[in-house]
A and B are shown apart, each in its own frame.
Chain A
Amino acid sequence: AQSVTQPDIHITVSEGASLELRCNYSYGATPYLFWYVQSPGQGLQLLLKYFSGDTLVQGIKGFEAEFKRSQSSFNLRKPSVHWSDAAEYFCAVGALTSGTYKYIFGTGTRLKVLA
């Protein structure tokens, strides 16, 4: 069965520090991979996605993610975190199940940024 694991429930970093959020997936084929951000009381915003090609993907707000097939991972990174990045981050896999395309979401990582 398909699954997505985000091992870190909470992460705290200082403003200006680098950030890496981990995501591991289980899927029988090459997945479509996504990172979403959700600010408090807000909807989901797509940060970036990977379908194929270059395994290093650039997204909005200075985020990037790297697909590593051998590790079944799609970790999100940012070289310098801003206070406005404090939010919940969700990794998701696009999975074809019974002919229907669906998202499977990880449990999320809540990011806190210290001034």
Chain B
Amino acid sequence: SAVISQKPSRDICQRGTSLTIQCQVDSQVTMMFWYRQQPGQSLTLIATANQGSEATYESGFVIDKFPISRPNLTFSTLTVSNMSPEDSSIYLCSVDPTEYGYTFGSGTRLTVV
């Protein structure tokens, strides 16, 4: 299985600011996925990121709020923009489970104050 590293592991941010989360994979992967886990909730897919193309966002998520970069086959970033307390969540990245294993990054725990 691919090994996925995320940073930061946690952060406390002021409302109105932005935070960029990094996801590094130890293999070259076609697709990377970003999920959000709100407090006490399950995981919800934010978007799918392919290298060299724009990310595909799920219903309820927009690029202006969650811009994603995918500069190469091992790396992606998710930015949470203009944050509000409602953005306090755990953000996780993952890879195509059918090709690279069924693992997630350790997550970024974001608190917005």
Interface CB pairs A-B, < 8 A, 8: A32-B98, A41-B109, A43-B107, A44-B103, A90-B43, A101-B97, A103-B43, A105-B43
Bound-complex Cα distance A41 to B10 (A): 11
Q: Other than the known A43-B106, A102-B45, what 8 A-B pairs have Cβ atoms closer than 8 Å?
A: A32-B97, A34-B97, A43-B104, A43-B107, A46-B103, A90-B43, A103-B97, A105-B44
Give the number of residue pairs across the A-B interface with Cβ within 8 Å: 47
Q: Which of A77-107 contact B (CB under 8 A)?
A: 90, 94, 100-107
Bound-complex Cα distance A66 to B98 (A): 20
Bound-complex Cα distance A42 to B106 (A): 7
What residues of A have a CB within 8 angstroms of the CB of B48 in the complex?
A: 100, 102
Identify A102's interface contact among B33, B41, B103, B109, CB under 8 A.
Answer: B33
Bound-complex Cα distance A108 to B42 (A): 6
Contact between B98 and A94, CB atoms less than 8 A apart: yes
Identify A100's interface contact among B31, B35, B43, B106, CB under 8 A.
Answer: B31
* Shortest distance from the beta carbon of B27 to any chain A beta carbon, whole Å: 16
Please, what's the 1-or-0 string for B100-113, where 1 marks a CB less than 8 Å from any CB in chain A?
00111111010000
* Shortest distance from the beta carbon of B36 to any chain A beta carbon, whole Å: 11
Nearest first, the 6 closest Cβ-Cβ pairs linking A and B are A43-B106, A105-B43, A105-B42, A44-B104, A46-B102, A107-B42
B83 touches A (CB below 8 Å): no
What residues of B have a CB within 8 angstroms of the CB of A49 in the complex?
A: 102
Identify B94's interface contact among A90, A103, A106, CB under 8 A.
Answer: A103
Bound-complex Cα distance A108 to B107 (A): 17
B96 touches A (CB below 8 Å): yes
B92 touches A (CB below 8 Å): yes
* Shortest distance from the beta carbon of B25 to any chain A beta carbon, whole Å: 15
Given A94-B97, A100-B48, A103-B97, A43 and B105 touching (CB < 8 A)?
A: yes
Closest to A38 in B: B37
Closest to B107 in A: A43
B69 touches A (CB below 8 Å): no
Bound-complex Cα distance A103 to B42 (A): 12
Bound-complex Cα distance A78 to B45 (A): 29
What residues of B have a CB within 8 angstroms of the CB of A101 in the complex?
A: 31, 96-98
